[in-house]
Structure 1
């Protein structure tokens, strides 16, 4: 099957937020996402929570390397109490928009159905702030969204599974003109690192990566896919995982990594194939797709190490 690049909506919040901060010089969100190394692996955290991203990885682990590969820098600030954080945000906004996150999506009440924490991380671009409301571009599909300060601060202060409260990036500066293809090539060493499952990050007991994660998730789905796991996969995990793999295939092909691109191009439809059976509760079909996905991670690592 011929690989066709995907264009459309999806949960690419931090990549889209970075693209907004870069302005006219922004590479495509696909290249930004690729540079974070997110497509290169799979993990089953604590043996129960699956993500189609590298073992031991979280978005914060990929940002600085991505910015360097893309030719950008930014100033990061985090922590402090709510009053200090709000003061930092007001000050930074004097020089332009500010990239904010991770925040707890469940407190972003401009999104329909959000009434409280849902344990979902998110990133937004804050445009302005007055005494009562925050104006932002929310890449979930809400440009110029307005939110009461109280709700915004609740989202920004939330303790998530990674990152620190009140984290923001400002002072974005382009330090080198890097083409998209050169940015892709500069990101390959990081992709190999993460796909190799080499990490000094502490992982919860029973955590698994790559083929073992795919096999274990397949078994768990067959044994009984509970409501929370199914919701996580069909509303977020599968959607973002399939898009990441599709974008990886597109980027690798552009940079001349034909064999690696072909393998990523196999992964994308295998991950995407999980959506229908999981929604329809045809769990044996989903498990079969995961078992077919499992060996592709070692194959992709070998191809990347071989420079193809």
Structure 2
């Protein structure tokens, strides 16, 4: 990938990231698509997750678009990728389990959202704490569920009761209980560059915060969200907020933006790629600051981040360079 800086601008260089991180639904999708799957970076970009920031209810931050949830991006992402799937929702636990067993006769099933706290094979998980997650279920037999958990647990085995409690998703703020996707079908062969370019209009829409959003009072988006989170951190970052940021929000936010920068550069959106790379650096820099309780530095990074969302939207509005390949 070409560098995202001119000579002498080494501080702005972008280097693509490959490694672990909380990419559960992109990894789960990639498993379901098999050897025809695009990179997880392209899958994640197609969901529009990197394009914005939200502070839900003025208190809960995510480095993803205002009003966005994973489910809001799935259908558009699959369409851009050239795939389709069937969404199945159980009426109750018994109906959901029967539908899952029926689906597994044809192959693995993509399941979620689930409550991560019920996945007791994960160390330290002893009960619900409002964390959403996605899984690929392989088998149900003898009161246990065999699954691939993209959090780093291939062929994990879980008692059926724990799995059903997780799948009920009572503590998840979006989606419906007992949801799964099956019958993944490839409708067209779409090159990755075409997927990236086809995803740009949705990215612009999310960055613009257009349309109706079912958000609680006090919610903020983009620059206002960054400024609002800076104020919260300066006022006293409690353990719950700090834990959410350092264990999830910062990690996945920086990864999404780094992947977005890589994808945008590939597709010829050089200026947008530079902005996304700068956002990734700012969000990623917060990890040490927050772990070390250097909250003033974390707040300063957020204030530097605030004006970049409008710049990114403007850059995406411009056509890509014709030299892109």
The normalised TM-score by structure 2 is 0.94
Deviation at 1:158, TM superposition (A): 2.0
Matched, 1:257 2:258: no
Does the aligned pair in 2 maintain the 1:46–1:207 contact within 8 Å?
yes
Matched, 1:112 2:155: no
Matched, 1:32 2:43: yes
Deviation at 1:199, TM superposition (A): 3.0
Query: Which runs of structure 1 show a deviation greater than 2 angstroms over 4 or more consecutive aligned residues?
Result: none
Structural RMSD (CA): 0.7
Matched, 1:8 2:8: no
Does the aligned pair in 2 maintain the 1:76–1:167 contact within 8 Å?
yes
Instruction: Give the distance between the partners of 1:131 and 1:168, measured in 2 at CA.
Output: 21
Deviation at 1:275, TM superposition (A): 0.4
Deviation at 1:48, TM superposition (A): 0.3
Instruction: Give the distance between the partners of 2:174 and 2:211, measured in 1 at CA.
Output: 15
Aligned pair partner of 2:278 in 266, 269, 278: 266
Aligned pair partner of 1:275 in 287, 303, 306: 287
Aligned pair partner of 1:190 in 197, 202, 208: 202
Instruction: Give the distance between the partners of 1:271 and 1:45, measured in 2 at CA.
Output: 18
SS of aligned partner of 2:158 = strand
Match of 1:248 in 2: 260
Deviation at 1:72, TM superposition (A): 0.2
Instruction: Give the distance between the partners of 2:210 and 2:240, measured in 1 at CA.
Output: 29
1:59-81 CA distances to partner (integer Å, 9 max, x unpaired)? 00000000000000000011411
Match of 1:174 in 2: 186
Instruction: Give the distance between the partners of 1:119 and 1:263, measured in 2 at CA.
Output: 32
Structure 1 gap ranges (5+): none
Matched, 1:125 2:142: no
The equivalences for 1:289-308 within 5 A come to 289-308=301-320
Matched, 1:46 2:63: no
Match of 1:220 in 2: 232
Match of 1:18 in 2: 29
Deviation at 1:115, TM superposition (A): 0.5
SS of aligned partner of 2:106 = coil
Deviation at 1:118, TM superposition (A): 1.1
Instruction: Give the distance between the partners of 1:307 and 1:276, measured in 2 at CA.
Output: 36
Does the aligned pair in 1 maintain the 2:90–2:99 contact within 8 Å?
no
How many residues are aligned here? 308
Deviation at 1:198, TM superposition (A): 1.1
1:69-128 CA distances to partner (integer Å, 9 max, x unpaired)? 000000001141100000000000000000000000000001000000010000000011
Does the aligned pair in 2 maintain the 1:56–1:199 contact within 8 Å?
no
Instruction: Give the distance between the partners of 1:152 and 1:256, measured in 2 at CA.
Output: 44
